[in-house]
Amino acid sequence: MADYTYETLKTEVRDPGILVVSLNRPQKLNAMNRQMVQELVDLWTRLQHDFEIRVVILRAEGEKGFCGGMDVADVFQPEMMQFPVLYDFQWYLGKIEIAMREIPQPIICVVHGAAAGAGMSFALASDIRIISPDARFNAAFINVGIGGADMGSSYFLPRLIGAGRAYELMYTGRFMHAEEAMQLGFASRCVEKDKLMDTAIEIAQVIASKDPLVIKLTKEAINQNINCSSLEAAVHMENRNQAFIIAHNLQVATAGQKK
């Protein structure tokens, strides 16, 4: 397996094919600094071509919460306050979410406590969200004087919970607590904090037991069909994937018979 060693992230293979990635700045509520941005881009980009890893679990170190957003003290330094530098940094912020959707592995996001700003965007860009009763989410961008839509939030949030609620959350910056997140379909499971990882591992093991090509093409189809223009376009994507999978399975079966 590739060596995923970072300073702001902890990585561990818990089961064969299951990579656990932990945001690792607990003293700062796992707030995202410039180094974490670079390391996350590197991680997700490399995973696109890692065929040994089948599922990723994204979690956070520390008892207080998942991610407090951006580390403003680190990011808003004088050397960053120039347009070319800021533009480049903003590109990397967006690249995190794009890369999370592009990797073939489903991402299970495990959230306790606050997931604010960037933390909410990490959860939004994941495939499955498992939360504890104390979990809460907010699009905090507007609360710190920048646009209320950032890091893919204006794309993901309306698709997950509907435009009406998304407008409210992004205009006000208020927190969406665990009960509301479950009611709106934002998260799929709400379990006690000490059961979060057990639940995530259980789901990850089921996914990892499937054919990795099937999982890859299923994720690809879901991503494409979120934006497709019609039912016909959705069915064409599904037909293409099914034909590809059937051909793959026949090839595997034929190779097995020759042995």
Q: Pick the residue with more confidence: 214 or 83?
A: 214
What is the model's pLDDT at position 82? 75
What is the model's pLDDT at position 54? 97
**pLDDT surpasses 90 at 129:** yes
- pLDDT tens digit sequence for 137-159: 999 877 776 666 778 888 999 99
CB-CB contact of 11 with 49 (8 Å): no
Helix (H) or strand (E) holding 120: helix 118-125
Q: Is domain 9-208 annotated with CATH 3.30.830.10?
A: no
- Please provide the average confidence, as pLDDT, over all residues in the chain: 90
pLDDT band for position 245 (cuts 50, 70, 90): confident
Strands 65-67 and 114-116: parallel
**pLDDT surpasses 90 at 28:** yes
Token readout for 46 is 């490399």
pTM as predicted? 0.90
Question: What is the average pLDDT across 240-257?
Answer: 73
Helix (H) or strand (E) holding 174: none
CA angle 175-181-182, nearest 5°? 155
**pLDDT surpasses 80 at 75:** no
CA distances to 35, 59, 129, 149 from 24, in Å: 12, 9, 19, 25
User: End-to-end alpha-carbon separation of the chain, Å?
Assistant: 28
CB-CB contact of 148 with 173 (8 Å): yes
User: What span, in angstroms and rounded, lies between the C-alpha atoms of 22 and 107?
Assistant: 12
What is the model's pLDDT at position 240? 75
Overall residue count recorded for the chain in this entry: 259
Residue ranges of the domains in the chain?
Answer: 9-208, 212-258
**Closest residue by Cα to residue 1 from 39, 47, 36:** 47
How many other C-beta atoms are found inside a 10 Å radius of the C-beta of residue 65?
Answer: 21
pLDDT band for position 164 (cuts 50, 70, 90): very high
Question: What is the average pLDDT across 39-67?
Answer: 96
**pLDDT surpasses 80 at 233:** no
What is the model's pLDDT at position 80? 65
What is the model's pLDDT at position 147? 67
User: What span, in angstroms and rounded, lies between the C-alpha atoms of 191 and 11?
Assistant: 23
